[in-house]
């Protein structure tokens, strides 16, 4: 079996296949696993530049989070986010427990990838030959490999990592920013990771990201100014921008799509969340196993 994409969906799929005794090879174009479950090093420290946190309402995914907690890889972060609504502070939003990772969220993908056959730096351009091929990625990326014929709508996001000389803001965990031209969320990465580093990560709105996709770095000043204004900060910050062209899908029906022996899975099959991607990848593996396995090695 060949799984293309080592994001959480591809890794969940491969893990399930291999655990059931069916060999699976994962091909990933990037230099690291994780996809949008992404942590990048800035001055020797990881900041989470993709998914901001994990939430679970599926018992199996919750079980995975609990196992990561026991292993020291993940921890419950907060159930409360500050809210800024059309220029004003609003009541905080209490929601599900949001989980984060002391080593950065990508460390969780690395954990799933342990002992899997993953080839990094391998961009798949043509459909590989295999009993089953799993395209575990946004639909528009899969379309570059083969016509899967599953229309999906995606929005872009720019992530800005702001590293300050010191922490000068009033304590908050994360903030939903509603009705803002530039910002959608701001998270305290030092609080999230637990090391209290003076690092904020802001996510843009899709509308702000769209005209900046060809030159994301050109958005740095505007995003930094928006964060400073929002939090009343004077200090300068080092700013790094990461572009996510396919960041957020509009949810579609089903757990995955299938055309012959080619599968498409990922977070478009439900709420655009890490849990959805994990469940989607696992559902594909079970479909494959229902036809090809499990086998005894």
14 interacts with ligand FAD by CB under 6 A: no
Record the tokens describing residue 222, joined without a space.
Answer: 């505007």
Distance between CA atoms of residues 49 and 191, nearest Å: 15
Minimum CB separation from ligand FAD for residue 20, in Å?
A: 20
Distance between CA atoms of residues 148 and 140, nearest Å: 9
Distance between CA atoms of residues 14 and 224, nearest Å: 39
Minimum CB separation from ligand FAD for residue 165, in Å?
A: 25
Categorise residue 44: left if φ over 0, alpha if ψ from -120 to 50, beta otherwise. Answer: left
173 interacts with ligand FAD by CB under 6 A: no
113 interacts with ligand FAD by CB under 6 A: no
How many residues bind ligand FAD, per CB under 6 A?
Answer: 37
Minimum CB separation from ligand FAD for residue 270, in Å?
A: 9
Which residue, 52 or 224, is less far from ligand FAD as judged by CB?
A: 52
Among positions 2, 3, 13, 27, the unique one binding ligand FAD when judged by CB under 6 A: 27
Distance between CA atoms of residues 133 and 264, nearest Å: 9
Using a 10 angstrom Cβ sphere, with 0-12 exposed, 13-18 middle and 19 or more buried, the burial of residue 4 is buried
Which residue, 130 or 295, is less far from ligand FAD as judged by CB?
A: 130
Which residue, 25 or 165, is less far from ligand FAD as judged by CB?
A: 25
Which residue, 159 or 163, is less far from ligand FAD as judged by CB?
A: 159
124 interacts with ligand FAD by CB under 6 A: yes
283 interacts with ligand FAD by CB under 6 A: no
Among positions 56, 145, 197, 262, the unique one binding ligand FAD when judged by CB under 6 A: 145
Which residue, 5 or 190, is less far from ligand FAD as judged by CB?
A: 5
Report in angstroms the alpha-carbon separations of 223 from 16, 45, 170, 202: 40, 21, 20, 8
Nearest Cα neighbor of 73 from 49, 54, 60 is: 54
Which residue, 105 or 237, is less far from ligand FAD as judged by CB?
A: 105
Give the DSSP H/E element, type plus range, for residue 209: helix 206-209
Record the tokens describing residue 154, joined without a space.
Answer: 């995606």
Q: Is 268 helix (H, G, I), strand (E, B) or coil?
A: coil
Largest CA distance in the chain: 63
Q: Which stretch binds ligand FAD (CB under 6 A): 67-75, 221-229, 268-276, 289-297?
A: 268-276
Residue numbers at the binding site for ligand FAD (CB under 6 A): 4-10, 27-30, 35-37, 50-54, 123-124, 136-138, 141, 145, 157, 159, 203, 244, 247, 266-267, 272-274, 277
């Amino acid at each position: 079996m060949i799984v293309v994409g080592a994001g959480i969906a591809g890794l969940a799929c491969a893990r399930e296949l291999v655990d059931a005794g069916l060999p699976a090879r994962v091909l990933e174009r990037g230099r690291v696993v994780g996809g949008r479950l992404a942590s990048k090093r800035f001055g020797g420290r990881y900041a989470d530049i993709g998914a901001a946190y994990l939430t679970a309402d599926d018992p199996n995914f919750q079980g995975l989070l609990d196992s990561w907690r026991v292993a020291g890889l993940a921890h419950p972060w907060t159930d409360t986010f500050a809210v800024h609504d059309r220029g004003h502070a609003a009541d905080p939003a209490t929601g599900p427990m949001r989980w984060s990772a002391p080593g950065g969220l990508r460390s969780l993908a690395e954990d799933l990838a342990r002992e899997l056959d993953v080839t990094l730096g391998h961009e798949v351009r043509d459909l590989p030959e295999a009993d089953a091929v799993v395209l575990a990625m946004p639909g528009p990326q899969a379309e570059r490999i083969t016509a899967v014929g599953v229309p999906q709508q995606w929005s872009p996001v720019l992530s800005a990592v702001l590293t300050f000389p010191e922490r000068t803001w009033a304590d908050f965990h994360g903030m939903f920013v509603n009705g803002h031209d530039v910002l959608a969320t701001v998270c305290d990465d030092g609080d999230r990771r637990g090391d209290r580093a003076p690092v904020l990560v802001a996510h843009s709105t899709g509308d702000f990201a769209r005209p900046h996709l060809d030159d994301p770095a050109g958005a740095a000043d505007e995003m930094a100014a928006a964060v400073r204004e929002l939090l009343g900060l004077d200090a300068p910050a080092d700013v790094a921008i990461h572009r996510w062209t396919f960041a957020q899908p509009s949810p579609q029906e089903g757990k995955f799509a299938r055309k012959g022996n080619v599968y498409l899975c990922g977070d478009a099959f439900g709420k655009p969340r890490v849990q959805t991607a994990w469940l989607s990848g696992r559902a594909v593996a079970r479909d494959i196993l229902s036809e090809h396995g499990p086998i005894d090695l």
